């Protein structure tokens, strides 16, 4: 894309080029100062305490059908999500960070290590839902979770500069993987292909 300086489309074209470059960057260099704005979300320990594991087990076994109690529990015990990333220097668990006016992911998880910042977007769906249908395809609820993550990625395509500079999400791009937490199914070999689909 080429737009002459001073043309009405120049700023838009420059922003699109900047977004494309930021989304393609590897962010292998680490500047710890870039993450100071997220310090309140930093974990003191990555391993969850036994009480956190017990609380999650009890909630899972309770038959709870709504998402909100799981959201609340994970906010109370954020280390339960720490294993979704590799954070050698620090791990951050950020609940319900608003992305512009459109989206609020359940959690953004950041691990900072020698490779650089590693982001994962987490969507929580209700435990009552099945992960896959009887024919092995992803259930409607699972597809809904996947669609939400894809929507957040689409938002990052054009808003990556805003996310990194204004929201403090350094290194966050549209390529960050997503994780949908859903259901209580027992893993089945025949269902693995659908369960293993990359998000």
For residue 141, count CB atoms less than 10 angstroms from its CB and return exposed for 0-12, middle for 13-18, buried for 19 or more.
Answer: middle
Q: Does 78 fall in a domain?
A: yes
Question: Which residue segment(s) compose the domain that 134 sits in?
Answer: 10-195
Residue pair 81/109 in contact by the 8 Å Cβ criterion = yes
Residue pair 51/101 in contact by the 8 Å Cβ criterion = no
Q: Does 1 fall in a domain?
A: no
Q: How many domains does the chain fold into?
A: 1
Residue pair 188/139 in contact by the 8 Å Cβ criterion = no
Q: Does 141 fall in a domain?
A: yes
- Output the pLDDT for position 34: 79
Residue pair 180/146 in contact by the 8 Å Cβ criterion = yes
Total-model pTM = 0.78
- Output the pLDDT for position 120: 93
- Output the pLDDT for position 190: 45
Q: Does 52 fall in a domain?
A: yes
Q: Does 2 fall in a domain?
A: no
Phi then psi dihedrals of residue 145, to 5 deg? -65, -45
What is the spatial distance between Cα 101 and Cα 90, in angstroms, rounded to a whole number?
28
Q: Does 134 fall in a domain?
A: yes
User: Which residues, given as ranges, of the chain have pLDDT below 70?
Assistant: 1-6, 10, 14, 17-31, 185-199
- Output the pLDDT for position 162: 92
């Amino acid at each position: 894309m080429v737009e002459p300086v001073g043309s009405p489309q120049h700023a838009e074209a420059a922003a699109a080029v900047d977004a494309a470059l930021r989304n393609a960057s590897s962010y292998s260099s680490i500047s710890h100062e870039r993450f100071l704005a997220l310090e309140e979300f930093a974990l003191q320990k990555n391993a969850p305490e036994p009480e956190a594991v017990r609380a999650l087990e009890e909630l899972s076994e309770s038959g709870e059908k709504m998402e909100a109690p799981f959201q609340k529990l994970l906010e109370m015990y954020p280390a339960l999500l720490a294993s979704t990333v590799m954070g050698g220097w620090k791990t951050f668990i950020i609940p319900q960070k608003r992305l512009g006016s459109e989206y609020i992911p359940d959690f953004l998880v950041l691990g900072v290590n020698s490779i650089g910042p590693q982001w994962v977007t987490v969507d929580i769906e209700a435990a009552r839902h099945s992960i896959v249908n009887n024919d092995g395809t992803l259930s409607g609820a699972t597809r809904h979770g996947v669609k939400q993550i894809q929507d957040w990625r689409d938002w990052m395509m054009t808003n990556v500069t805003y996310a990194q500079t204004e929201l403090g999400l350094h290194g966050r791009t549209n390529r960050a993987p997503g994780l949908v937490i859903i259901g209580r199914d027992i893993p089945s070999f025949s269902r693995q292909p659908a369960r293993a689909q990359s998000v």
